[in-house]
Amino acid sequence: MKPAPFAYERPRDLDAALSMLAASNGSAKIIAGGQSLGPMLNLRLVQPELIIDISGLTELKRADVSGGELVLGALVTHADIEDGRTADVTRGAMRAVAANIAYRAVRNRGTIGGSLSHADPAADWISALAALGARMTLRSCAGARTMTIEAFVVGALESALQAGEIVESIHVPTRSASAHWGYAKSCRKTGEFAHAIGAVLIDPAAATARVVIGAIDTAPIVLTDAAGLFGGRIAADYKERFDAGIADAVLAKAGIDDVVQRHIHVGVLKRAVQEAAA
Ligand SMILES: Cc1cc2nc3c(=O)[nH]c(=O)nc-3n(C[C@H](O)[C@H](O)[C@H](O)COP(=O)(O)OP(=O)(O)OC[C@H]3O[C@@H](n4cnc5c(N)ncnc54)[C@H](O)[C@@H]3O)c2cc1C
């Protein structure tokens, strides 16, 4: 199928893009890499009157380390991260996640801001960046606001973006030298969206753990204090202390009734914990 007709604008700078978005009164759609919006337009799942193409906005292509965090513009592509064109404050964690998103052609065009904005439950960044403790800045003509990834993703394909707002940047904290990272996903074949994701950032020295169970039917489950999954405390023996029964109960409480699905999610999370401890 072909998209329904739409007008097209390619603003020169972020202010111009925000003004166009504000003037459209909700009838416009931003396009970044087009990897999700393109198919949705073709299938006529969305029929905007105006497409605002932000792919030329240099303000959204920054990648600097400042104040102990990496600030990535929304237009940084998965391939930019995979290829190391951005600084790596996560000691390889983001690079490995980026390298396993879809296929290279998708990674060349797909952007980190587009992926978060689309809020597909099966997408990688919403889970990985929530586990890494990242935040995002949203900008509109009225100003900017910052929130955590877990506050931003409110449901399947649903985010906290309000009319007139654009994702401007993503702020990733530096991973401490003692923090262990594990990321695992289950896909039917390489390059496909996951049907289970486990992401963990465990710091035995600081006795902290962030755990994310993703690719469920809604927003990922984000446990910012996950000691309960490890017998109530985080220590060097966390791999042995991982409690699959508690993880299963967390999934059941989140409304996942299918035992087989829960089993797959728990298995994938266990793999992430094992990877962190390896
Ligand atoms: C075949 C295929 C396989 C894929 N597999 C995976 C996978 O395994 N894992 C994975 O994580 N992803 C996967 N993807 C998704 C891909 O990684 C892209 O990141 C994703 O499509 C969105 O990024 P984009 O820049 O292309 O956004 P677009 O398609 O341009 O936009 C997506 C949505 O976000 C909005 N938007 C975009 N940028 C902004 C912004 N800065 N501010 C506000 N709103 C914005 C748009 O209006 C639109 O609603 C796959 C895509 C394809 C086509």
Q: Is the CB of 98 under 6 A from ligand 1?
A: no
Paired tokens of 109: 């065009």
Strand intervals (E) in 132-165: 135-140, 143-148, 153-155, 158-159
Same domain, 43 and 148: no
Residue 272, pLDDT score: 98
Residue 191, pLDDT score: 80
With a CB cutoff of 8 Å and minimum separation 6, the contacts of 178 are: 203, 204, 205, 206
Q: Which of 158, 173, 188 is the last residue of a domain?
A: 173
Residue 248, pLDDT score: 98
With a CB cutoff of 8 Å and minimum separation 6, the contacts of 262 are: 248, 251, 252, 256
Q: Is the CB of 118 under 6 A from ligand 1?
A: yes
Contact status, residue 196 vs residue 190, Cβ threshold 8 Å: no
- The residue contributing the CA closest to ligand 1 atom 1 is 102
CATH classification of the domain holding 27:
3.30.43.10
At 58-104, the pLDDT tens digits run 999 999 999 899 999 999 999 999 999 999 999 999 999 999 999 99
At 170-187, the pLDDT tens digits run 999 999 999 999 999 999
Same domain, 69 and 153: yes
Classify residue 168 by burial, with Cβ atoms within 10 Å: 0-12, 13-18, 19+. buried
Q: Judge whether 109 lies within some domain.
A: yes
Paired tokens of 146: 């910052």
Q: Judge whether 245 lies within some domain.
A: yes
User: What is the pLDDT averaged over residues 16-29?
Assistant: 96
Same domain, 156 and 203: no
Q: Is the CB of 159 under 6 A from ligand 1?
A: no
For the chain, how many structural domains are there in total?
Answer: 3
In the predicted structure, residue 55 carries a pLDDT above the cut 90: yes
Q: How confident is the model at residue 156 (pLDDT cuts 50, 70, 90)?
A: very high
Other CB atoms closer than 10 Å to residue 2's CB: what's the count?
7
What's the mean pLDDT when you consider all of the chain?
A: 97
In the predicted structure, residue 163 carries a pLDDT above the cut 80: yes
Same domain, 212 and 273: yes
Same domain, 156 and 195: no
Contacts by 30-33 with C-beta closer than 8 Å and gap 24+? 30/54, 30/117, 30/166, 31/55, 32/74, 32/75, 32/111, 32/113, 32/114, 32/117, 33/77, 33/109, 33/110, 33/111, 33/114
In the predicted structure, residue 189 carries a pLDDT above the cut 90: no
Residue 249, pLDDT score: 98
Residue 135, pLDDT score: 98
Helix-, strand-, coil-residue percentages of the chain, each rounded to 5: 35, 25, 40
Q: Judge whether 2 lies within some domain.
A: no
Domain that holds residue 124: 58-173
Q: Judge whether 1 lies within some domain.
A: no
Residue 91, pLDDT score: 97
Q: Which of 123, 145, 173 is the last residue of a domain?
A: 173
User: What is the pLDDT averaged over residues 135-158?
Assistant: 97
Q: Judge whether 241 lies within some domain.
A: yes
In the predicted structure, residue 196 carries a pLDDT above the cut 90: yes
Residue 168, pLDDT score: 98
Residue 215, pLDDT score: 97
Q: How confident is the model at residue 192 (pLDDT cuts 50, 70, 90)?
A: confident
Same domain, 95 and 146: yes
Same domain, 99 and 128: yes
In the predicted structure, residue 109 carries a pLDDT above the cut 90: yes
Same domain, 110 and 217: no
Same domain, 69 and 23: no
Same domain, 257 and 219: yes
Q: Which of 37, 50, 80, 125 to mutate to test the pocket of ligand 1 (most atoms within 8 A of CB)?
A: 37
Q: Which of 60, 118, 185 to mutate to test the pocket of ligand 1 (most atoms within 8 A of CB)?
A: 118
CATH classification of the domain holding 197:
3.30.390.50
In the predicted structure, residue 198 carries a pLDDT above the cut 80: yes
Q: Judge whether 115 lies within some domain.
A: yes
| Per-residue DSSP letter, 161 | P
Same domain, 110 and 36: no
Residue 1, pLDDT score: 75
Q: How far is the CA of 65 from the centre of ligand 1 (A)?
A: 24
Q: Judge whether 81 lies within some domain.
A: yes
CATH classification of the domain holding 117:
3.30.465.10
Q: CA 277 to CA 96: how far, in whole Å?
A: 17
Q: Judge whether 67 lies within some domain.
A: yes
| Helices 244-253 and 259-277, packing angle to 10 deg | 130
User: What is the pLDDT averaged over residues 20-38?
Assistant: 97
Same domain, 95 and 190: no
